[in-house]
A and B are shown apart, each in its own frame.
Chain A
Amino acid sequence: MKKTIYSLTILITFTGLMRQAVPAFAQNLGGQRVINQVNHAQNQASRTAARQSTQLQNIINHSDLLIANRISTLNALLNKVQTDAKLSASEKSSLSSQIQLEISGITALKSKIDTDTDVATARIDERLIITDYYVYAIFDPKIRLLIILNNLQTVTSNVQALVPQLQNLINTFKAQGKDVTQLQNLLNDVSTQLQTISATLTSDVTTIENVSVTTQGASTIFAKTRQDIAQIVRADFARIRSDFAQMIPLFTQIIRISQQGASQSANQTTTITPASSSANQ
């Protein structure tokens, strides 16, 4: 390349001198052809430079667009986390900090791409927008699944807190001589379902939290977690709801019986009282 440029420079200089000094001589020797060739080479070089400049600008513009889309997606995700009603403060803080880290990293990459001066470096940096973050393939589904899992964990622990209280009430009725067999079986089933749900959710949260841009087969992990959630939502929680629905009339029946028993005993005491008082008289 250097040799070519050097030769061309010598040729141009020589031709210029020839044209000025002895134009007739130069024309006679076919110098015009050389001049044309040099002009062509000059034009080609300038066109290449212009094309590369345009290409670089296109890469920068495309990169800016990719980054803008990703930042917009991440901001929407951040807003979803912060406005979620069921997430705890620590869960919000953890998820928000992950998103903020992603945004700041991508913003720094944008600054670098905007100042890139050659096409090759810009192309490498443009590729990093995808491979360093995988916002759509990994990060967005990861955060969304964590939100779902955390929310389901909250509901599960709330319902779990209800189980011992229901057990206490059943024990009270049992102590009063009521038949609580059905209620006890239903509560046992609720408890079993909750334990299964809790174990699955805990395992899935750990698995999802460990997913990163370098994880192989992240899409398979996400699909498995979605299946777990669907199972929890459509089967396990549905069964708990069914158990609760069956418990309500059973509790109603037992409470009614105990209230009738209480009123009867009250009536008996009122009828006995005058009799005993008359007997005393």
Chain B
Amino acid sequence: MEENKQGQPLDNTPTAVSQVQSETTSQPIASSPSISEPQQTTSDAPKVTPQTESKSNMKYIITGIALILVVLAAVYFFITKSAQQPLTMARPVQQAKTPSQKPVTSVTPVTAANVNQTLSTANNTINQAVTQANTDLNSAKNINTSQDSTAGL
């Protein structure tokens, strides 16, 4: 048992040292500790490597998922934004229609209900204009142009 116990450390020590040495070459600060410390490092070293690999894989997955979520959010944002633009354009079109309806209502078209009245009014208007024109025509015709004679001046 002792031999085994002694042998195990003897067998394990060089490997641990060799590992430590290999680590000390890259990390010089860790070469100063005592012999008992490398034993701990020999027991911890093989356990850390798979955890960090899985952690790094998880990081990649999480980062990927986060990126996908960001992309999806961005796509959703742009889709909703582009979907709102036609709605905002639709409002001015509706507003533009309403003023064009007002002049149409302001015009009084000739209909079956008012055509006879309209024609009678037009007839009277023409009659008045004709009477007035006849009067004015007579007054224009009767101007005494002899007042502009230069005879005797």
A positions within 8 Å CB-CB of B: 69, 86, 123, 126-127, 130-131, 134-138, 140-141, 144-145, 147-148, 151-152, 155, 158-159, 162, 165-166, 168-169, 172-173, 219, 222, 226, 229-230, 232-233, 237-238, 240-241, 244-245, 247-248, 251-252, 255, 258
* 8 pairs from A and B in contact (CB 8 Å cutoff): A69-B147, A86-B129, A136-B145, A148-B140, A151-B132, A165-B109, A168-B110, A226-B141
In the assembled complex, how far is the CB of residue B136 from the closest CB belonging to chain A, in whole angstroms?
Answer: 5
Residues of A within 8 A of B141 (CB): 226
Residues of B within 8 A of A (CB): 109-112, 115-116, 118-120, 122-123, 125-127, 129-130, 132-134, 136-137, 139-141, 143-150, 153
Min distance, Cβ B102 to any Cβ of chain A, angstroms: 19
Query: Are the CB atoms of B143 and A136 closer together than 8 Å?
Result: yes
- Majority secondary structure of chain B interface residues (helix, strand, loop or mixed): helix
Residue pair A166, B140 in contact (C-beta under 8 Å): no
CB atoms of B132 and A159 under 8 A apart: no
The answer to whether A144 and B110 touch across the interface, beta carbons within 8 angstroms, is: no
For residue A229, which residues in chain B have a CB less than 8 angstroms away from its CB?
Answer: 133, 137
Contact indicator B129/A141 (Cβ below 8 Å):
no
Q: Which of A86, A155, A219, A245 lies in contact with B145, CB distance below 8 A? A: A219
With contact pairs A144-B136, A162-B118, A226-B137 given, residues A155 and B143 touching in the complex (Cβ less than 8 Å): no
Collect the chain B residues with CB atoms within 8 Å of residue A152's CB.
129, 133
Q: Hey, which chain A residues are within 8 Å of B153, CB to CB?
A: 123, 126-127, 130
Q: Once the chains bind, are B137 and A230 in contact (CB under 8 Å)?
A: yes
Asked if B149 and A240 make an inter-chain contact with CB atoms under 8 angstroms apart, the answer reads no
A252 to B117, CA, bound (A): 11
CB distance from A166 to the nearest CB of B (A): 6
* B125 cross-chain contacts in A, Cβ below 8 A: 155, 158-159
- Structural contact, A241 and B123, CB atoms closer than 8 A: yes
Q: Which of A151, A169, A226, A251 contacts B129 (CB 8 A)?
A: A151
Q: Looking at the complex, which one of B123, B132, B140, B148 makes contact with A130 (CB distance below 8 Å)?
A: B148
A127 surroundings in chain B (CB, below 8 A):
150, 153
From the candidates A233, A251, A255, A258, name the one contacting B119 in the complex (CB within 8 A): A251
| In contact, A148 and B136 (Cβ under 8 angstroms) | yes
Q: How far is the CA of A158 from the CA of B140 in the complex (A)?
A: 25
* Contact (Cβ within 8 A) B110 A245: no
Contact indicator B133/A233 (Cβ below 8 Å):
yes
Contact among B118, B129, B139, B147 with A136 in the assembled complex (CB-CB below 8 Å): B147
Q: Which residues of B contact A226 (CB under 8 A)?
A: 137, 140-141
The CA-CA distance from A237 to B126 in the complex, in Å, is 7
Known A-B contacts A148-B133, A229-B133, A251-B115; A136 and B126 likewise in contact (beta carbons under 8 Å): no
Contacting A247 at CB < 8 Å: which of B111, B119, B134, B140? B119
Which A residue's beta carbon lies closest to that of B151?
A: A130
Q: A168-B109, A248-B120 are in contact. Are A233 and B130 (CB under 8 A)?
A: yes
Interchain CA distance A151-B140 in the complex, whole Å: 15
Alpha-carbon distance A19/B124, docked complex (angstroms): 96
Measured between alpha carbons, how far is A226 from B137 in the docked complex, in Å? 7
> Contacts of A169 on B, CB cut-off 8 Å?
110-112, 115
Q: Given that A69-B147, A159-B126 are known contacts, is A147 also in contact with B136, CB under 8 Å in the complex? A: yes
